[in-house]
Amino acid sequence: MGRKILLENIDKEGIERFDVYRKHGGYTALEKALKLTPDEVTEEVKKSGMRGRGGAGFPTGMKWSFLDKKSNNPRYLICNADESEPGTFKDRYLIEKLPHLLVEGLIISSYALGVNTCYIYVRGEFKYLIGILNKAICEANANKFLGKNILNTGYSLDIHVHSGAGAYICGEETAQIESLEGKRGNPRIKPPFPALKGLYDCPTVVNNVETLAAVVPIISMGGEEYAKIGTGRSTGTKLISASGHINRPGVYEIEMNISVEEFLMSDEYCGGMKNGKPLKAVIAGGSSVPILPAHLILKTANGENRMMTYESLADGGFATGTMLGSGGFIAYDEDSCIVRNTWNLTRFYHHESCGQCSPCREGTGWMERVLHRLENGEGRMHDIDLLTNISKNIEGNTICPLGDAAAWPVASAIRHFRDEFEFHVKNPGIVKNIKHGSLKKYTV
């Protein structure tokens, strides 16, 4: 069995309540942290080597060290709970089942950063989570672990829960800051970065739910011990949201030293492919990362086992690799239509584009229309190269990464499954009649 440090107590009855969480060791990491200096807490996070669990994978301790501590302005910590990436649902699971783990992580992190006001920005569709979070915050306040003069240490912190309005773009940290300030959620041009000028033009750190929750075990066991879990620069454990054509969809905590094949096929995790059908492709890190065919997701271009790590999944660059991203692992069986899947993703990104940048605003719409043509048997052969050209003109030419997120799935789908796109052009009659049946019997 893989080691669990975030989900260790997930099955304990009533663990969402303060008394039960406390009984199972809750808030002892906070008590330990408050005996250290803020810089010593930050140093433990640095030693852990933990990379941000929201998608970019930037080292958390290093990000914290960028915070402007010379400014006389207040500092803020924002917990990004705007989990809108298709295929990703781990943060929702953490909040629902272990709200006090997040609250404890927020208090420790705020203490390390010298923050006295913290915000949890919750995705608009997660309204039921707001009550869960507010209850946990009230319980922590009532037991003197939050509020004024926490545990008589002289440190004070207020945590506020803020609901978004269901905009994917607000998962980007500067768009989230704009939204918190009551403005339209448009990403900001950087620099300046939030560490210098963030919320209300004050120094701000934005971390996602899993990242902040992981601070608790880091302090409990020590940064060096945490770094021994995993491998290389992929230290600790990672929550994976597994879905698609697998026997056991759900949220799994993995040590980052197992292979993709083990994660996919073992009964401890995904339990193999549904109905025993062969694997066709995998999106490893949420809808915004490149899709890989079965032979490349299981093995690297050098024939080595592909591992569930930041480095191994990225091996070979986008030509033969992908990204761990937010950990949204989606498996597709042999009957899946890659063109239909790509069109569906592009519809999402077109709808969610804030419209601030022309390449994204116009390009996502163009890609959606071209893919719609292909999927409905009206495509032309030059449409395939047109899609590649559009994606290249979007990538790297926008203020925020949403443009890249929209371009990469399209470019990788054509790179690895061009024959399927060509089949859609050459066989319009068949394509029009296939809605939810097997594409495989026609293409092999």
Neighbours of 319 (CB within 10 A): 11
Q: What is the pLDDT of residues 257-290, one digit of tens each?
A: 999 999 999 999 999 999 999 999 999 999 999 9
Q: Look at residue 66 in the predicted model and tell me its pLDDT.
A: 95
Q: Look at residue 118 in the predicted model and tell me its pLDDT.
A: 98
Structure letter (DSSP) for residue 330? E
Q: What is the pLDDT of residues 380-430, one digit of tens each?
A: 999 999 999 999 999 999 999 999 999 999 999 999 999 999 999 998 888
Structure letter (DSSP) for residue 305? B
Q: Look at residue 172 in the predicted model and tell me its pLDDT.
A: 95
pLDDT greater than 70 at residue 442: no
CATH code 3.40.50.2300 for 338-443: no
The CA distance from 374 to 62, in Å, is 45
What's domain 236-333's architecture? Answer: Roll (3.10)
Three-state SS for 110-173 is HHHHCCCEEEEEECCCCHHHHHHHHHHHHHHHHCCCCECCHHHCCCCEEEEEEECCCCHHHHCH
Phi, then psi, of 282 in degrees rounded to 5? -140, 135
Confidence tier at 318 by pLDDT (50, 70, 90): confident
On the 0-12 / 13-18 / 19+ scale of CB atoms within 10 A, 364 is buried
Average pLDDT over residues 292-311: 94
pLDDT greater than 80 at residue 440: no
The CA distance from 17 to 20, in Å, is 6
Whether the bond between 249 and the residue before it is cis, its omega within 30 degrees of 0, is no
What's domain 18-228's architecture? Answer: 3-Layer(aba) Sandwich (3.40)
Q: Look at residue 438 in the predicted model and tell me its pLDDT.
A: 65
The CA distance from 388 to 386, in Å, is 5
Please tell me whether the overall predicted TM-score, pTM, comes out greater than 0.85 for this model: yes
CB-based contacts of 196: which residues, under 8 Å, 6+ apart?
A: 68, 71, 203
Q: What is the pLDDT of residues 92-119, one digit of tens each?
A: 999 999 999 999 999 999 999 999 999 9
Average pLDDT over residues 346-363: 96
Question: Comparing C-alpha atoms, which of 368, 377, 369, 370 is closest to residue 442?
Answer: 377
Report which residue type is found at 236: G
pLDDT greater than 90 at residue 432: no
- Report domain extents, the chain: 18-228, 236-333, 338-443
The percent of residues in the chain predicted with pLDDT above 90, rounded, is 91
Q: Do domains 18-228 and 236-333 have the same CATH topology?
A: no
Say which residue the tokens 């980052």 belong to: 256
Torsion sign, CA atoms 267, 51, 205, 64: positive
What's the mean per-residue pLDDT of the chain? Answer: 94
Q: What is the pLDDT of residues 170-198, one digit of tens each?
A: 999 999 999 999 999 999 999 999 999 99
Q: What is the pLDDT of residues 367-383, one digit of tens each?
A: 999 999 999 999 999 99
Q: Look at residue 444 in the predicted model and tell me its pLDDT.
A: 52
The CA distance from 18 to 140, in Å, is 7
